[in-house]
């Protein structure tokens, strides 16, 4: 790729070194990670919380980088473009290097606090049932179809260079649809700012990431940005699927961006009037049943997923199917065939009923525990094992403690991914929301493996045990060390001890 005047203007340079040389060079790749730089690449200096990319300019030049994008003028005599916003410049250049792959596909972004992973998998299933190829990008990784294994992308939404490279691979395979989780961080940090979306799905907005966004209003504004990334060409399809039962997202139909015309809006919900809704809802341990009513007809749904939160997830996915012109019968048959999503209300055993879930926000934990409570038989108890992640939103910790105490018969507070924080301090923060401190109802066990074992070994066959917070993750981050740890494995090991 060569850098032309249009690209130069788009990244808004403050100053450049020899521009003629910069524009004559042929660039092979781009990265903000000095370890990934190869000969002919562009290196983008990103100032992160722990690492400042400007410190690695000398290293990348030795490795053959042809250009440095920076926000401070480098001391070295190197080709550079000085910009105010290196993240924005990286997004622009990444899309250009990979020749704007999102223009060659229908890219659907799913955003919200909870439900993104489940919705993307349901949408993938609907497209495949309709005979349409669909790739998926999200928390579990990236894959070209449901029959393939995930490849790890490192983030819910990858950095711009990795994302554009992945989209180019997908486009070159001839895959015309991609469903992708879009995090609030990716919207704020411009990772997706050069993507052109065909659809935007809004699940829900509840407290999370306030360590970064500070206020819920800022969090909401970050999510709204996805609408402005919908395709702008008049002949191209663009739509939004919105949960109008959510107090924040209910505002979205009146907040459509002025520069994107004719956005088709499909609303869904259970409580408020909506285009796509659910009636006659019933739950079992095997799943849920309901009558789905839509603008194109109604149909009974019997799915393998349970909990009210999954009713919303299915409605969102069906909304995408309808927006894409897929008949309701196909949509319903697709979602009915989807098994449990890894780490999302995943059942590990039935007696006792052990459920592993990724719930790591107050709303997420409340939804999962309420769904689990519906499954507790007479003379059974609801037991929850959970902790909170370190170096993340501190204010949600006491809230999650309060929710667990209110909904459960027994709570075991433990470690999640403490990262660089003191695990005991995280637990102390959680305990400030609990009134039954150190009573028989609340137990503290800092070692997550022991906590899971205690919950299972001391349970009865009629108990329901929810292990929350990590879900699909097969690791635990303690300080700067990432060790193997899988809640599902730990649960199975504990179950063996009560079945001997």
At 209, the pLDDT band (50, 70, 90 cuts) reads low
Instruction: Supply 125's token pair.
Output: 């299933």
pLDDT at 495 over 80: yes
Q: How far is CA 433 from CA 387, 401, 444, in A?
A: 13, 5, 14
DSSP 419: B
pLDDT at 499 over 80: no
pLDDT value, residue 212: 66
Average pLDDT over residues 163-186: 97
**What is d(CA 28, CA 354) in angstroms, rounded to the nearest whole number?**
50
Instruction: Supply 330's token pair.
Output: 């196909």
pLDDT at 210 over 80: no
pLDDT value, residue 155: 80
- In the predicted model, what is the mean pLDDT of the chain? 94
**What is d(CA 404, CA 434) in angstroms, rounded to the nearest whole number?**
9
| From the candidate CATH numbers 2.30.30.40, 3.30.1330.10, 3.90.190.20, 2.40.30.10, the one assigned to the domain spanning 346-498 | 3.90.190.20
pLDDT at 189 over 70: yes
Q: What residue ranges do the domains of the chain occupy?
A: 5-97, 101-337, 346-498
Q: Which CATH architecture has domain 5-97?
A: 3-Layer(aba) Sandwich (3.40)
Average pLDDT over residues 135-147: 95
Q: Do 201 and 226 form a contact (C-beta atoms < 8 A)? A: no
pTM above 0.85, yes or no: yes
**What is d(CA 117, CA 159) in angstroms, rounded to the nearest whole number?**
18
pLDDT value, residue 19: 86
**What is d(CA 324, CA 330) in angstroms, rounded to the nearest whole number?**
12
101-337 adopts what CATH topology? 3.40.1190
Q: Do 201 and 109 form a contact (C-beta atoms < 8 A)? A: yes
For tokens 């009636």, the residue is 279
* Same fold yes or no, 101-337 and 346-498: no
pLDDT digits (tens, 9 = 90+) for 285-322: 789 999 999 999 999 999 999 999 999 999 999 999 99
Q: How far is CA 239 from CA 34, 125, 256, 404, in A?
A: 38, 19, 11, 38
pLDDT at 211 over 80: no
């Amino acid at each position: 790729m060569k850098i032309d005047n249009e690209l130069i203007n788009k990244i808004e340079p403050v100053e450049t070194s020899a521009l003629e040389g910069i524009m004559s060079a042929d660039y092979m790749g781009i990265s903000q990670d000095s370890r990934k730089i190869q000969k002919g690449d562009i290196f983008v200096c990103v100032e992160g919380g722990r690492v400042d990319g400007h410190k690695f300019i000398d290293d990348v030049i030795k490795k053959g980088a042809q250009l440095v994008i920076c926000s401070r003028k480098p001391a070295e005599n190197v080709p550079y473009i000085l910009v105010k916003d290196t993240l924005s410049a990286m997004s622009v250049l990444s899309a250009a290097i990979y020749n704007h792959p999102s223009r060659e596909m229908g890219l659907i972004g799913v955003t919200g606090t909870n439900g993104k992973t489940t919705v993307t998998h349901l949408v993938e299933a609907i497209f495949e049932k309709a005979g349409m190829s669909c790739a998926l990008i999200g928390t579990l990784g990236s894959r070209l179809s449901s029959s393939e294994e995930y490849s790890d992308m490192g983030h819910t939404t990858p950095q711009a260079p990795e994302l554009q490279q992945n989209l180019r691979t997908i486009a070159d395979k001839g895959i015309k649809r991609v469903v992708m989780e879009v995090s609030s961080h990716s919207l704020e940090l411009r990772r997706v700012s050069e993507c052109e979306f065909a659809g935007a799905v809004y699940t829900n907005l509840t407290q999370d990431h306030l360590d970064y966004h500070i206020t819920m209003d800022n969090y909401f504004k970050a999510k709204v940005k996805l609408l402005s990334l919908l395709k702008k060409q008049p002949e191209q399809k663009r739509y939004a699927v919105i949960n109008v039962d959510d107090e924040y997202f209910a505002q979205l139909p009146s907040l459509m961006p002025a520069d994107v015309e004719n956005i088709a809006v499909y609303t869904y919900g259970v409580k408020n009037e909506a285009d796509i809704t659910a009636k006659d809802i019933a739950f079992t341990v095997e799943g849920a049943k309901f009558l789905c009513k839509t603008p194109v007809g109604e149909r009974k749904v019997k799915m393998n997923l349970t909990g009210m939160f999954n009713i919303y997830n299915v409605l969102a996915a069906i909304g995408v199917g309808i927006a894409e012109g897929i008949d309701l019968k196909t949509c319903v048959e697709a979602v009915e065939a989807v098994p449990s999503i890894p780490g999302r209300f995943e059942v590990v055993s039935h007696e006792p009923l052990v459920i592993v879930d990724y719930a790591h926000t107050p709303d997420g934990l409340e939804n999962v525990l309420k769904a689990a409570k519906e499954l507790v038989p007479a003379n059974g108890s609801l037991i929850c094992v959970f902790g909170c992640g370190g170096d993340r939103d501190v204010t949600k910790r006491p809230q999650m403690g309060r929710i667990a105490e209110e909904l459960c018969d027994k709570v075991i507070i433990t470690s999640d991914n403490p990262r660089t924080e003191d695990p005991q301090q995280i637990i102390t923060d959680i305990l400030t929301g609990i009134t039954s401190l150190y009573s028989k109802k609340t137990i503290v066990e800092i070692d997550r493996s022991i906590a899971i074992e205690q919950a299972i070994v001391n349970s009865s066959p009629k108990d329901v045990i929810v292990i929350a917070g990590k879900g699909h993750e097969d690791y635990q981050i303690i300080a700067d060390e990432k060790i193997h740890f899988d809640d599902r494995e730990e649960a199975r090991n504990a179950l063996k001890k009560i079945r001997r």
